[in-house]
Structure 1
Amino acid sequence: MSQFECPVVRVHIEPHPNADAIEIARVGDFQSIVKKGQFKDGDLAVYLPEASLLPEWMLKELGMWDDLNAKGKLHGKDGNRIKAIKLRGVLSQGITFPVELRGTVSVVHRPATPDHGGDAVVAEGSDVAEFLGVTKYEPIVPANMAGKALGANLDITHKYDFENIKKHPNLFEPGDDVVITEKIHGTLLQVSVVPSSMADERFFGGRVVITSKGLGGRGIILDHNDEGNVYAQAVKKHKILEEALRVLGPLADARDLPMVLFGEVFGAGIQDLSYGAQLDFRAFDISIGVRDAAVFVPHYDFEHLCDSMRVNRVPQIYVGPFDREILLECTDGKTTLAGGHIREGVVVKSRNEDRHPRYGRKIAKSISEAYLLRKNATEFQ
């Protein structure tokens, strides 16, 4: 499960191939450009990831404050949002913030205020986002992705997300049996089919509900009859509610647990990458159960269930033993769908739903450099 955090990490310093005054600080497989000599190899630092919104005091501390315009020098209307950039030909994702060593104690410092102390003692792995006042950027969702709420139920919606493989580079072992699929830049749709024991007259057929990624994470269900939102439009166009009830309904009853189909709604007007003019949907996951107790069906069963529902799946790019070089080759390039534009990236997951002893489900995203650096980007969920 993906979560926003600003962790205290140990950085590994490498020379910049095209500059003398800056260096590369590696955090996992992420790269952050730093001033030469600012960090030594093995130092502790706070990693501020992409999409972080930095407070004014930190922007000033980092020399990223514009006094004339009273705003930051980063991205967004307030100049306080971290985005990926390229510096002298090297991709930089995130910012590294210093951790001070005072004797044998590691400390993160921020200016003291009447409401806030000035220092925090930290250790490797500490999350200091709240202490620093760093939050995650959440774009304003357009009206056609908001929709009318039908109610709330945490038992039949999910908080669905997973990490970038750069954060957990050892998630997969060489040779692991994996499938790599294209990551489509759209908006996530959840279609939940509940068992008869949880039937509700407000649901489609008494048993099927829809929601988005952001709303589903909060347990909010969308009205499937509200055709002003793209999720209701997509399920109607592709007859997803009827097919999900027909195929997944008996399985939900057999287990007396909800089953959830996850997929991407995409097309013109959804995000900045259009994939052609038509509203479309592609499935990428199916789960059984409630929230953290849910399990995901192995890829073969996922394919079979999608075929039974006559639901298209996300494009499959590679199936076979895991190899980091193959993953990187698949990550970049053009979309395999309509539009001919850049590929957002790919998703790699275990075909048999194997689990990592530390990180859990073996699934991760790998994002293309062209996608990270594109102009006029949207990230609605």
Structure 2
Amino acid sequence: MSTLRVTVEHLTIHDHPNADALELAQVGLYRAVVAKGAFRTGDVALYIPEQAVLPQELVAELGLTGKLAGSAANRVKAIRLRGELSQGIVCRPRALDGTDLARAAEEGTDFGAQLGIVKWVPPVPVSMSGEVEPAPELLPWIDIEHLKRYPEVFAEGEPVAVTEKVHGTACCLTYSASSGRVQVTSKGLGAQRLALVEDPGNLYWRAVRAHGVAEVAAELAAELGAARIGVFGEVYGDGVQDLGYGADSRRGEPAYAAFDVAVEVGGRVRWLAPQELATAVEGRLPLVPTLFTGPYDARRVMELADGRETVSGRAVHLREGVVVRPLGERYSPVVGGRAVAKVVSGAYLTRKGGTEYE
């Protein structure tokens, strides 16, 4: 998941091709359906992104009672309105009356807490939960921002790798060379510096044991002279999420695909660049599919996010999206961290009966 920030943004307004009374307000590369005439290009307004949970008072004020997602009808979710994908809500709530919105946009002020807007936390199935223990030495996974929200992360023509985003649950393993200790966690628990106590019934531990992830981490630590190694992979299959890729984790071992490795050497943590990662784990662990390597082209990346998945080799269902990384690992001032971004397909966002366990 990406971080949740509720900010004021500059708008670009486009015609809605299928509705005379509606328009499209563009924020970054996102577009949200708005009433015709409500905004003009150059205006500033609050942008509430997907996965935001709104207080009922704000839902009512915006005229969205009964129109949002979730059991309480208060969660922002991508939808199609008259055939156009609408991602997020563009508005000017009364609570911001008197606020200098232009200045707030310039300063990037986050109004989430003031408005009582929080990030949606998906439920956790029993197979993904378990007893936990403190793990301050974990190498946790990071939030990946959406390229549509931050289109300046990559420069046109910059060498990048585009990999398929697999719909599963992130398994984060940390191996400490000095002690040989292996700690396994999920993305959500890892962010809290909590590890899952080993349990043969736990999904993450089942995947780690089935694919020898800990052994690979130990080998990499020795080869790279690392004090700690973090191996990050997606655990997937039927019984994990609604997109199973033809694998069944309920009757067999969970499917697994590595997507990143972090290495600590001399007290400094770095991420393996895409080609270095491929070389390091080739023949040792399955990897998420690489769809493209070459000069960055925003339009091509958006096109790659859609279509059918390539994980199963049989294109059994739609693609969740893609993840973009530079071929040379670097810092991005745009997101204030590692230069990496994702694009999620519209078909995935608007599918019926989807699950989003973390």
* TM-score of the aligned structures, taking structure 1 as reference length: 0.86
Q: State the 1:34 CA deviation.
A: 0.6
Offset, 1:255: 4.3
Q: CA deviation at 1:121?
A: 5.3
The answer to whether residue 343 in structure 2 is matched with residue 340 in structure 1 is no
Q: Could you tell me how far apart the structure 1 residues matched to 2:67 and 2:272 are?
A: 45
Contact 1:347 1:364 in 2 (8 A): yes
Q: Is 2:240 the partner of 1:270?
A: yes
Cα 1:147–1:77 change in 2 (3 A) is same
Taking the aligned partners of 1:8 and 1:299, their CA distance within structure 2 comes to 34
User: Matched residue of 2:96: which SS?
Assistant: strand
**1:17-56 maps to which residues of 2 (within 5 A)?**
17-56=17-56
1:240 aligns with 2:213: yes
Q: Would the aligned equivalents of 2:7 and 2:109 in 1 still touch at CA under 8 Å?
A: yes
What do the CA deviations read for 1:73-103 (whole angstroms, capped 9, x no partner)?
A: 3111111111111111111000012167xxx
Q: Does 1:366 align with 2:343?
A: yes
Question: Shift in Å at residue 355 of structure 1?
Answer: 3.0
Aligned equivalents of 2:136, 2:287: Cα separation in 1: 26
Shift of 1:15: 1.4
Partners of 1:289 and 1:3 lie apart in 2 by 25
Number of residue pairs matched by the alignment: 345
Contact 1:289–1:295 (CA under 8 A) maintained in structure 2: yes
Residues 11, 41 of structure 2: 8 Å contact kept: yes
Which of 174, 177, 180 is the aligned partner of 1:195? Answer: 177
Q: Are positions 1:286 and 2:261 aligned together?
A: yes
Contact 2:177–2:218 (8 Å) recurs in 1: no
Distance 1:337 1:358, change over 3 A: closer
Q: 1:55-70 alignment to 2 at 5 Å?
A: 55-65=55-65
Secondary structure (helix, strand or coil) at the match of 1:317 reads strand
The within-5 A match list for 1:79-90 is: 79-90=73-84
Q: Answer whether contact 1:157 1:221 (CA < 8 A) is retained.
A: no
Residue type at the aligned position of 2:213:
I
Deviation of the 1:189 alpha carbon: 0.6
CA deviation profile, 1:27-59 (whole Å, cap 9, x unmatched): 100001111111122222111111111111111
Specify whether residues 189 and 331 from structure 1 end up closer, same or farther in structure 2 by C-alpha distance, changes over 3 A only: same
Q: Does 1:143 align with 2:126?
A: yes
User: Could you tell me how far apart the structure 1 residues matched to 2:141 and 2:151 are?
Assistant: 23
RMSD: 2.0
Amino acid of the structure 2 residue aligned with 1:233: R
What is aligned with 2:326?
350
TM-score, structure 2 normalization: 0.91
1:75 to 56, 64, 69: 69
Q: Look up the match of 2:96.
A: 108
Please give the alpha-carbon distance, in whole angstroms, between the structure 2 residues aligned to 1:315 and 1:215.
26
Deviation of 1:155 (Å): 2.7
> What does residue 289 of structure 2 align with?
315
C-alpha contact 2:247 2:255 (8 A) present in aligned 1? no
Secondary structure of the 1:294 match is strand
Shift of 1:250: 5.2
Corresponding letter in the other structure for 1:108: L
Judge conservation of contact 2:220–2:229 (CA < 8 Å) in 1: no
Q: The residue matched to 1:3 in structure 2 has which SS?
A: coil
Structure 1 residues 49 and 357, CA, compared in 2 at 3 Å: closer, same or farther? Answer: closer
**Is contact 1:178–1:321 with CA below 8 Å preserved after alignment?**
yes
| CA apart distance, 1:344 | 0.3
SS in 2 for 1:289: strand
The reply on whether 1:296 has 2:290 as its aligned counterpart is no
Give the Å deviation of 1:249.
Answer: 4.3
1:91 maps to: 85
User: What does residue 203 of structure 1 align with?
Assistant: none
User: Which piece of structure 1 moves more, 29-38 or 318-327?
Assistant: 318-327
Q: Deviations over 1:301-360 (max 9, x none)?
A: 21121126x111101111111112221221111111226100001111111113334334
Distance 2:122 2:301 in 1: 29
| DSSP 3-state at the match of 1:80 | coil
Partners of 1:157 and 1:211 within 8 A in 2: no
Larger radius of gyration: 1
Q: Which runs of 5+ in 2 are unaligned?
A: 249-253
- Structure 1 residue 227 displacement after superposition: 1.5
Give the CA deviation at 1:236. Answer: 1.1
- For 1:91-139, what per-residue CA distance to the aligned partner results, in whole angstroms no more than 9, with x for missing partners? 1000012167xxxxxx714xxxxxxxxx755511211000000111111
How far, CA to CA, are the matches of 2:11 and 2:38 in structure 1? 11
Amino acid of the structure 1 residue aligned with 2:351: R
8 Å CA contact retained: 1:194, 1:249:
no
Q: Deviations over 1:154-208 (max 9, x none)?
A: 3323142211100111211121111111100000011111130xx2xxxxxx322
Give, in angstroms, the shift of residue 10 of structure 1.
Answer: 1.3
